Amino acid sequence: MKGLTKTAVTFVAVLGIAACGSDSDSIEYSNLQAVHASADAPLANVLINDEAALTGVDYGVGSGYVKLPEGSNSVQVDVQLPGGETVTVVPKTSLDLDSDLNYTAFVVGDASGTPNPVEPLIVTRSATSMADANSLDVQVVHAASGVPAVDLYVTEPDAALADSSPITNLAYKASTDVLNIPAGDYQVRLAVGDTVAFDSGTIPLPANANLTIAAIKTGDSNSTSPVKLMVLDGSGSSILEDMGSQAEVRVGHLVDGAPIVDVHVDGAAFAPLADLEFKQIRGYLDLAPKAYDIDVFVDGTTTDPIIDVDGLEVKGGMDYSVYAVGVVAPAIAIEPLVVEDMRRAVATSATLNVTHAAANPVAEMVDIYLTSSAGIEGSDPAIANFAYKESVQGVYVAEGSYFVTVTVAGDPSTVAIDSAPVTVMNGVVYQVVAIDDGNNGGFNLIVDDITD
């Protein structure tokens, strides 16, 4: 399916959850799947019948169905906080499950409380499928907090909207009945009045499928649509972006001692990235999703690129940093480092993305400390054994002021960056990049707010 990125999330077999081979003629079962659809909430943990069934679920991810005994079952959702702490956002909720129904438990709303509180949304559908070799079943849910009611159109590709009738108007938290439709190519559009808010373009919908499709917020301030679609097929989830969705890319010059450079894209000079100096990071720039050829030349030249990348593919709805890293002595060794950036802010903490771009062999492997006062005596590293060109995304940190110290891995006495102060706030995503910097004692940190 065009634009879909598969993310499988699996429930673990725990006490109170039926495991394979545990069926009994005297017990009837139902199916339940869980979905994280709260755009500013942290990673979530789902507890079923008081046992951890799903941990570390990111926004826009849904599980497959898990089999549960018919009758009373409980669901609770906690979210992760800094330091391994959790807080309950959906209190223990009892569900009286019916074996004739399948259930999808959404966590919807906003962790900030605005415009809507975090709450559970339970959507049901018949456990008996009408899908066959020529058709599929699909149910559509509006799970995008703050997005107004939309008209839902499911048409042949390129059908004029003016000549089509909406299937229904869906308000926030509303859902359609299960629709049985012929398998084939379709175009899904959501409209507010005469304005199309989401357009899937042409997508194939396969036979014998049982799909739940939920509109959720993009979490992208520059998106062409306020929503994206999460597609659940009973075994996992995927994301379908608006057909006009762009990739967002930024480029950084992180090679100490290298000259000013110009960046060419697909054989032509790219003006936004001309005259790029050491320690400059520019972007995010919108690029159409496709593969690009990238050449980096010393400023004013167009031959012998110092970086030559062919076929760098970027995807709509994704964010990237492309860094020039390496050294110029004793021999020039410069290469690109491409990082997929996680820019979704959470209301309950600051979020750190950290990239090790310091090529000096002394710091090939480092430990990173985050302390409330200068010095690291008695502290454990926040990130241990962090190798050159590695990147870690989505580290939750409590709001406040800290000192960042970087040492050689396993050797706290060999300090690369000594107690650099940093202040972070809840609801902000910070990109922290460690670089070589001969004018700053050998190493340095570049810290940017990259919140989307």
pLDDT tens for residues 102-141?
A: 999 999 999 999 999 999 999 999 999 999 999 999 999 9
Query: For residue 21, is pLDDT > 80?
Result: no
> How confident is the model over 313-342, as a mean pLDDT?
95
Query: Residue 18's pLDDT band (boundaries 50, 70, 90)?
Result: very low
- The tokens for 212 are 């739940």
- The tokens for 99 are 């074996």
> How confident is the model over 84-94, as a mean pLDDT?
94
**How far is it, in rounded angstroms, from Cα 36 to Cα 56?**
10
Amino acid (1-letter code) at residue 142: H
Query: For residue 143, is pLDDT > 90?
Result: yes
Close Cβ partners of 371 (under 8 Å, ≥ 6 residues apart): 379, 402, 403, 405, 419
Amino acid (1-letter code) at residue 53: A
CATH class of 345-452: mainly beta
Query: For residue 7, is pLDDT > 70?
Result: no
**How far is it, in rounded angstroms, from Cα 369 to Cα 114?**
34
246-341 and 345-452: identical CATH topology: yes
Half-sphere exposure of 113 (CA within 13 A, CB side): 1
Q: Do the Cβ atoms of 253 and 324 come closer than 8 Å? A: yes
Query: Residue 25's pLDDT band (boundaries 50, 70, 90)?
Result: low
**How far is it, in rounded angstroms, from Cα 85 to Cα 83?**
6
Query: For residue 70, is pLDDT > 70?
Result: yes
Mean pLDDT score of the chain, rounded to an integer? Answer: 93
**Domains of the chain by residue range:** 5-240, 246-341, 345-452
The number of angstroms, rounded, from the C-alpha of 285 to the middle of its chain's C-alpha atoms is 18
Query: For residue 17, is pLDDT > 50?
Result: no
Q: Which of the four CATH numbers 2.60.40, 1.20.58, 1.10.3470, 2.40.50 does domain 246-341 have?
A: 2.60.40
Reduced to 3 states, what is the DSSP secondary structure of residue 280? coil
- First vs last C-alpha separation in the chain: 26
**How far is it, in rounded angstroms, from Cα 311 to Cα 223?**
24
**How far is it, in rounded angstroms, from Cα 245 to Cα 252?**
23
Reduced to 3 states, what is the DSSP secondary structure of residue 34? strand
> How confident is the model over 194-211, as a mean pLDDT?
96
3-state SS of the chain: helix, strand, coil percent to 5? Answer: 5, 55, 40
The number of angstroms, rounded, from the C-alpha of 10 to the middle of its chain's C-alpha atoms is 18
**How far is it, in rounded angstroms, from Cα 127 to Cα 438?**
65
**How far is it, in rounded angstroms, from Cα 399 to Cα 371?**
13
